[in-house]
Amino acid sequence: MNKQRICIVGDGLSGLMTAIAISQVPGVEVNLIAKKTSKNRDKRTTAISDTNYKFIKENITRLNSNLFWPSKDIELFYETAKEKINFLNLNEKNSNLMYVFENDKIKNIILKEILKKKIKITRKKINNLEDLKKFDLSILCLGGNSKIYNTIVKGRSISKDYREVAVTGYVKHKLKKLNTSQFFLKEGPLAILPFSKNYFSFVWSLKKEFYIDNSKKINHLVKNKILEILKTKQNINITNTQSYPILLGLKGQYHEKNILILGEGLHTIHPVAGQGFNLVLRDIKKLKEIIEYYSTLGISIKNSYALSDFYKSRKPENIIMGLSIDFAHNFFKRNKYLDPFKETIIKNIRNNEALKKLSKIISNQGLSF
């Protein structure tokens, strides 16, 4: 059988990771279509589970493990009127719960490996699907807002505007010890993600109105809040501050004929649990397995049930995880009538070992265990 031609559209983290993973399937020729080179760097960090870290290592040959900052401890706090309750501590002695990396550095490594593998890269903008008909399979990794998806998705999707803004950035510090932490504050959840000895990134989800009112002094606000929750007076330096609206988007339809949506175009979820890119990596892993299965049998992907198999295997987890995170976010939002009951529940979580174990399993492996 002739080589199966697969096209990945998009050179973001999802597109590059899909290209490098699929390129390792025997009998497959991968093409990458990307927009013209952008000068804008992706100065963000991403958190992944231990299982997904191993998947990345399997697919990137020359991966410097020092670019991934491991975490054996994760602490969760809930702010009341009187205190910040440390209600859940997740830890491992012999393995890592998660890793944090800088997007730009990993994207550069993947791109170098793509060039080394001589994967064809075409620099152009895709405005319609006509240019993709010549491929056996086309995978769209165009982010969450591409209008091209409208020609594919005709079924019902789950969508929600949280009316919140995520503020992200880097913090330089001189603290001796700093764990990965999630603080459920009255203004909104704030995550602290160490990615090197003297740097951590933050993600603070704020109500849209609150962000607009404080946008001109957001760095000052973030700095004071971080100093407060870390209980330190040390000087910290905040850089690379960015913001973006927070939306929930779970596609009801994944593909049309031989064109598949992948990445944020498939599912956009609240950042509170840090599971967004973890879901993407699990999608890529399953897609690679399915393509490898059909290629081994000598069956053309274009005329097979490959995309239907992918849809059936991945949609349940993506929907359940997205809605579960939505529920968790709503639970921790302030409500003067429910807050007294929530405080009682939260204090009881601390000693629930079964819940801790389940939380670690789901965060690491998703719902496919």
pLDDT attached to residue 339: 86
| DSSP character string of 251-308 | -S--EETTEEE-GGGTEE--GGGS-HHHHHHHHHHHHHHHHHHHHHTT--GGGSSHHH
The helix/strand count (H/E) of the chain reads as 9, 17
Tens-digit pLDDT string for the chain (369 aa)? 678 999 999 999 999 999 999 999 999 999 999 886 656 678 899 999 999 999 999 999 888 999 999 999 999 999 998 889 999 999 988 889 999 999 999 999 999 999 998 899 999 888 778 888 889 999 999 988 888 888 888 778 999 999 999 999 999 999 988 999 999 999 999 999 999 999 999 999 999 999 999 999 999 999 999 999 999 999 999 999 999 999 999 999 999 989 999 999 999 999 999 999 999 999 999 999 999 999 999 999 998 999 999 999 999 999 999 999 999 999 999 888 888 888 889 888 888 889 888 998 999 999 875
27 CB-near residues (< 8 Å, 6+ apart): 1, 3, 4, 295
Gap between the Cα atoms of 1 and 298, Å rounded: 7
Q: How far apart are CA 184 and CA 71, in angstroms?
A: 20
Residue with tokens 């697969």: 6
Q: Which CATH architecture describes the domain 4-365? A: 3-Layer(bba) Sandwich (3.50)
Q: How many CB atoms lie within 10 A of CB 252?
A: 12
Quote the DSSP letter at residue 37.
P
Apex CA 128: angle with CA 124 and CA 130, to 5°? 95
What confidence score (pLDDT) does residue 349 get?
86
Helix, strand and coil content of the chain, in percent to the nearest 5, comes to 40, 30, 30
| pTM (two decimals) | 0.95
Cα–Cα distance for residue pair 369/367, rounded to 1 Å? 6
Q: Domain limits of the chain?
A: 4-365
- pLDDT in the model for residue 127: 77
Q: Are 188 and 164 in contact (CB under 8 A)?
A: yes
Please give the single-letter amino acid code of residue 21.
A
Sheet of 259-261: strand order equals 120-123, 28-34, 4-9, 137-140, 259-261, 255-256
Number of residues assigned to the chain: 369
DSSP secondary structure, 88-134, as one string: EEEE-SSS-SEEEEEHHHHHHHHHHHHHHTT-EEEE----SSGGGTT
Q: 3-state class of 315 per DSSP?
A: helix
